A and B are shown apart, each in its own frame.
Chain A
Amino acid sequence: MAESRETGPGGGFRELAESFGGVAAEYDRARPSYPQELFDELERLSGRRLQGARVLDVGAGTGISTRLLAARGADVIAVEPSAGMAAQFLAGGPGLALVKGTGDELPFHDRSADFVTYAQAFHWTRPERSVPEAMRVLRPGGALAVWWNVKDSGVAWVRAMGERLAAALPGTYHHYSATKEIASHLAPYDLRTGHAVLHWERRITVDHLITDLTSRSYLAALTPEQRAPLLAVEREALLAEFPDGWVIEPYVLDLTVATTPA
């Protein structure tokens, strides 16, 4: 997200990053998941199978992506700094390994992983540290993969919602321009990069969508009193657009895979 780089990792950025701890349950329940095609593309662009691969899923949050990677047969270790997110991750069931850490300083040995993945998380790192860290822990031929789900602003109601939030939250509202910046963050390094964009959609209720919004850092960082009127406006606008309460939410899933020299 461009906004984070502008304010830098001081005050506002840290506050936003730490806001997730308080909305971990909402995050886990409402955030969009990822379609299987994402993992097919990940395997195609990296030239590696996930089955049996050592994957470090960084910024794992509540484990949405970690669980999907494990279901593909990967040996996943999740990495997450937030205590609140970790508690939700651990409550989601046993069996998945979770480590406390960040992408800027990975608690792993050199050449110990086949994939380093960032699901909706790379924009919380400092790329000048997190990219070399990923390269250090990857085995030769291993892949750094970053992806973001972004609501498709080519659709009118999505664009209108974005404009309302941007007007209400100047300075903190962001949409993921990170997808445009990732190429420049990877350019300085000896990496072979591939890129894919997947279009998909999910059918959810207006209530579900409001819960998702609640878990967005720019709203989670507000007090409940500040947040309530903004959510009320969004609920009203959505119900006007979707009178039966069901929304088809369109997503653009942006994937970049950078492979280290073999």
Chain B
Amino acid sequence: MTDVQEFRKLAESFGGVAAEYDRGRPSYPQELFDELERLSGRRLQGARVLDVGAGTGISTRLLAARGADVVGVEPSAGMAAQFLASGPGLALVKGTGDELPFHDRSADFVTYAQAFHWTDPERSVPEAVRVLRPGGALAAWWNVMDQEVPWVRASGARERALLPGAVRQFDEVETAAEQWRRLGLEPVTTVLRWERRTTVDHLITDISSRSYVAVLDEDRRRALLEGEREALRAEFPDGLITAPYLLDLTLAVVPR
């Protein structure tokens, strides 16, 4: 399989685990949206936001709760079905960040929650600039579990041993900030630390919705998940976990 085919297969794997994604994935703390407003110099209240790679709508719902007029953009039919099942009222469009179905200068924010790495920056960055109004902001963020914490590091090491080459190493690729700078933007970044109280079972659901796990055949998938469950049970005998996250935000304002 070529890299492109492999990438496509990973990207398309979400359709089959949309329910697990919606249930298991971490949400985002309100501080993220405070930072988004501070760094962009714009309020979310009443702003037109295009939430690209909206998935099941985790970020879309939070943006709407802050008073933004959000439109979710999502290519996957499986994710879209989960998005639509979660309730009416939120607008959803079929599309990708590489080719946004919106008019020039029609948005105040283009946001990518845990999604920008699925785009081709050579296309998605100019597309965002095109649809943003002058002074509007492109923002991308990722939740990554804090690898400084021993049990998180151990979990990652186990996954890499089972799936050599498959687990994305975010620190080995060019960062979004580097890509955007190369493409003419002036990004700023910030990192927020937060944690969520969760259970071993919940964290296993989260892991099962990751693309590199979702593409595995049933036997390998079960082996990986059961191995993780056992190791986490040993670490947290009462089944309760405080999961530590680093939330990495990159934002660039389009010149006026």
Residues on A facing B (Cβ under 8 Å): 52, 54, 75, 77, 80, 83, 86-87, 90, 94-95, 97-101, 107-112
What 7 pairs across the A-B complex have the smallest Cβ distances?
A107-B101, A109-B80, A86-B103, A97-B91, A109-B94, A100-B103, A100-B101
Pick the contact of A112: B69, B92, B101 (CB < 8 A). Answer: B92
User: Are A52 and B102 in contact, CB atoms less than 8 angstroms apart?
Assistant: no
- Assuming the contacts A77-B93, A97-B69, A107-B93, asked whether A54 and B101 have C-beta atoms less than 8 A apart, the reply is no
Residues of B within 8 A of A107 (CB): 93-95, 101
Interface string of B89-114 (1 = CB under 8 A from A): 10111110000011111100000000
CA A111 to CA B80, docked complex, whole Å: 10
The residue in chain B whose Cβ has the minimal distance to the Cβ of A90 is: B106
Most B Cβ at <10 Å: residue of A94, A98, A99, A107: A99
User: Are A95 and B94 in contact, CB atoms less than 8 angstroms apart?
Assistant: no
Question: How many chain B residues touch A (Cβ–Cβ < 8 Å)?
Answer: 22
The residue in chain A whose Cβ has the minimal distance to the Cβ of B133 is: A90
20 A-B pairs, CB-CB below 8 angstroms?
A52-B88, A54-B88, A75-B91, A83-B103, A94-B46, A95-B69, A97-B48, A97-B71, A98-B106, A99-B101, A100-B101, A100-B103, A107-B94, A109-B74, A109-B80, A109-B92, A109-B94, A110-B77, A111-B84, A112-B92
Pick the contact of A99: B74, B84, B93 (CB < 8 A). Answer: B93
- Assuming the contacts A95-B46, A97-B69, asked whether A77 and B103 have C-beta atoms less than 8 A apart, the reply is no
CA A52 to CA B89, docked complex, whole Å: 7
Chain B min CB distance to A117 (Å)? 15
CA A101 to CA B73, docked complex, whole Å: 14
User: Are A100 and B80 in contact, CB atoms less than 8 angstroms apart?
Assistant: no
Residues of A within 8 A of B71 (CB): 77, 97, 99
Chain B min CB distance to A257 (Å)? 21
Chain B min CB distance to A165 (Å)? 32
Residues of B within 8 A of A86 (CB): 103, 106
- Assuming the contacts A94-B46, A94-B69, A97-B71, asked whether A108 and B92 have C-beta atoms less than 8 A apart, the reply is yes
Pick the contact of B48: A94, A109, A110, A111 (CB < 8 A). Answer: A94
Residues of B within 8 A of A75 (CB): 88-89, 91
CA A94 to CA B108, docked complex, whole Å: 11
Residues of B within 8 A of A95 (CB): 46, 69
